[in-house]
Structure 1
Amino acid sequence: MTLPETTGAVRPRRRTASPAIGLLRFAVTVVTTFLGLLAVTFFIGRVIPIDPALAIVGDRAPAHVVERVREQLGLNLPLWHQFLLYLKQVLSGDFGVSVLSSNPVMEDIRRVFPATLELATLGTLIGAVFGIPLGVLAAVRRGSLVDQIVRVIGLIGYSVPVFWLALLALLFFYARLNWVAYPGRIDVVYEYTFTPITGLFMVDAIIQGQWDVLWDLFRHIILPASLLGYFSLAYISRMTRSFMLNELAQEYVVAARAKGLSETRIIWFHALRNAAVPLLTVIALSYAGLLEGSVLTETIFAWPGIGLYITNSLQNADINAVLGGTIVIGAVFITINLLSDLLYRTLDPRTRRR
């Protein structure tokens, strides 16, 4: 018995993962990453040579008082038991009470986080608005003087310490030229007359129509936001250049040029459009980096965000506040990272087949 001849080889069907399995994997990744974050912050809190009980009662408290506070905090329990209690406490949204402010840590974070969100958002917008065109220009004119200048700008953004550049910016734009307001978020004139609604002061000023307050807020935020935007620009322009070089070497660009399309249309409507999907992920990660990495900037500019809150808490041995702020920042970074990955898979059909 002979088998009938076939005209071609039968290709096996590629199995694609069902949406339920993909959602389950995503959930497992989120839970595992968050548990890892909690474990790291917990053990860092136990390794730091600061006794939380002494931070609460003071160095001169009697030994029996210190011991009683340690028992109340559960510090006399085994380490694994302490971690379970810590896990239960954090999952219920309770980060303890701040020694510095005597308020619940979560309440303090709700108060200071909008300032960081406002600063990081404006910094990311500055970085994207200027970084993407510079990256495109450097890729189009690869090897030219323009390309070298853009690469040097990015190199300085990667190399120069943020505190040094921030101090120079304050000395030049505030002390010498007086173009910007002094460090802080709002002038003392408006501090007790302005009523926050959302915590995002600039949005609140627009909602209430207080344009003089909005101008004052802008003069306070523009310098630290521009500084963060410069570091974001360095990263975004570099990645944009890399993506555009890859797209400009593709065959569809050669075909578009052969059809007589203008170079402007090819660059901005074809190559940049195809590079936009991974570029969105880069911008999202840059945004997350500014949310978690603006500690020095907030400290130098006296910006009342979560970075300055963590710094002051660390200097005053306020471990609950330090760990609470670290967990929130880590959770925000993990969330933005996972959402950017999900967005990348949604917008790029090629990744769904993997």
Structure 2
Amino acid sequence: MELQPARDWATHPEGFQSRVAFAAAHVVADPLRDNGPGQPAAIDWDSTLAFRQHLFDHGLGVAEAMDTAQRNMGLDWPAVQELISRSATQAQAAGARIASGAGTDHVTEAADLAAVTRAYAEQVAFVESTGSQVIVMASRHLAQVATSAEDYLSVYDEILRQVSRPVILHWLGTMFDPHLEGYWGSTDIDTATATFLELVTRHADRVDGVKVSLLSAEHEVSLRAALPDGVRLYTGDDYNYPELIRGDGTRHSDALLGAFAAIAPAASAALAALDAGDHSAYEAEMAPTLPLSRLVFAPPTWFYKTGIAFLSWLSGHQPGFTMVGGLQSARPVPHLAEVFALANDARLFPDPDLAAHRLGLWLQAQGAGA
């Protein structure tokens, strides 16, 4: 494999006009502290915040404390609170957008709908207190206790009545979290979508947009057309985002993607091309990133965070390839070696020699090097 030369990617800190774009960012674990399974998250704050500045520099907002940051996979509530507080302060100083996840994962048990509602309300209030926009995340607790679509609607109705500014609603599919089976009250996608649309329509003035992570372009296009006027569709489709963001000439999706954390410079260049009305340049910038994203998010999809952190380390954004909860072990050697190869093809490494050196050290440590 030939090592591709570094590309001089332009920064774009002023953001974009034609699309709203968030990158869902990962957290950098402190490699010198215990981040084993079941341990409280020990975070390298300097590297974590520097990575967010990297995203801001390329014009992307940060979607904070989402599943990319290992919510429900090692990131505990005290760490979530500190992460959102620090990132919100940083975003305000940079004049950048930030939206942060509010869920129910700080409670060990929620016995009924009232308990789920209280848990949601507590996290929503915290996120709003930091100045961040709220992303209302899907709740494992709600999936456990709800028995009907009406149960989902009653909880979300109450939360949306309490918010002080429009939120983003997140529909996370089972490919990202199997515990969310039957969310919105049905395993039938059309029935669940009807319930979701009923909720959004009821509260259109309190919903900035919806983030849909079902990895189905066909479903997203259909849902996008059915949303009330003024409600955005933030694509969470890491398999099909170029076509969905480009749109069909009538409607388009905005972006809230974990993939954008891995491909920030290329995503920035593509969105700048859209602003300039240059669709050919947009396609050319996006095309090399899609094979990489599809590999990073390959099944079991919930382990995609490992690829995001691996690329961050190879790119020099963090000192070590260590993750909260020991999740660096979640992908096999051949998978991560191919991640390197596709990122190299896309010329995403700011220092290719460093990336190749780190890959070699890692392969040797895995027993796969020369």
Q: Above 0.5 in TM-score?
A: no
TM-score (normalizing by structure 1): 0.26
Higher relative contact order (CA 8 A, sep 6+): 1
From the two aligned structures, give the one with the greater strand fraction.
Answer: 2
TM-score (normalizing by structure 2): 0.25
